Amino acid sequence: MSLVEGIVRWLARHPGWLHRLPDGAASGLREPAPLWIGPTPTLRDRPPPEELEQILHIARKFDVAGRDERNAALGKAGEERVLDHERASLATLGRHDLARRVRWVSQEDGDGAGYDIASFAPDGRPRLIEVKTTNGWERTPFHITRNELAVAEERRTEWCLLRLWNFSRDPRAFELRPPLDAHVSLTATSFEAGFDAVPR
């Protein structure tokens, strides 16, 4: 636990470290390296209980997911990285026609579609990608909206969540497909307050 406390103190003195973007992120000056997409974390490969509790202690203290959600530049850089990856992957497979049609929906149409990138599988089937980016490790919690969950349910065969992690240092990713509650635990963290049905 002394290591955990040391990390907490260091992060408190260097808050800007958590907000770093990768070198050249969103600059358009150079071709990004291929995005490494690996296996999804599972309950079977989670860290031992003591190590996990120490990591969660740091996460609770700093609310890493909340901070990253508020960091618009981080989210935009992650989406741009996935956009480039999708176009490059399709082009590599000889599907230049599809690569040209990949759209950055959240930037072109706004952020209410329930996904960020409209891409394609190599056979032309639609691929709707919601991007979630954090600077933390692969098990750092992330936020998802009610609308995103609804679209995931409505368009299960097309929708996927691409989870980018370790983004500021060496971006890695994995993919989650609906139903999401088969992969992650969903916890309500905010509530909508209205005046239309107030009990008397």
Q: Which residue, 186, 196, 104, is CA-closest to 146?
A: 186
β-sheet bridge partners, residue 2: none
- In this prediction, residue 29 carries a pLDDT of 44
pTM score, whole prediction: 0.70
Three-class DSSP category at 111 = coil
Distance CA 111, CA 123 (A): 27
Least confident of 63-72, 95-104, 146-155: 63-72
Distance CA 18, CA 58 (A): 13
Rounded to the nearest 5°, which phi and psi values hold at 161? -110, 120
- In this prediction, residue 72 carries a pLDDT of 81
Which stretch, 30-39, 74-83, 177-186, has highest mean pLDDT?
74-83
Q: Residue 128 is inside which H or E element, if any?
A: strand 126-133
The domains of the chain, with CATH numbers, are 53-182 (3.40.1350)
Three-class DSSP category at 172 = strand
User: Position of tokens 């050249």?
Assistant: 24
Mean pLDDT of the chain: 81
Q: Would you state the structure tokens that stand for residue 53, as one six-digit string?
A: 């509790």
| Dmax (CA) of the chain | 64
**152: which residues sit within 8 A by CB, 6+ positions away?**
114, 130, 159, 161, 178, 179, 180
Q: Using the 8-state DSSP alphabet, how is residue 159 labeled? A: E
Phi-psi region of 142 (alpha: psi -120 to 50; beta: other; left: phi over 0): beta
Residue 140 burial (10 A CB sphere; 0-12, 13-18, 19+): middle
Q: Which residue, 110, 183, 184, 111, is CA-closest to 147?
A: 111
pLDDT, one tens digit per residue, over 108-160 is: 998 899 999 999 999 999 999 999 998 888 888 888 999 999 999 999 999 99
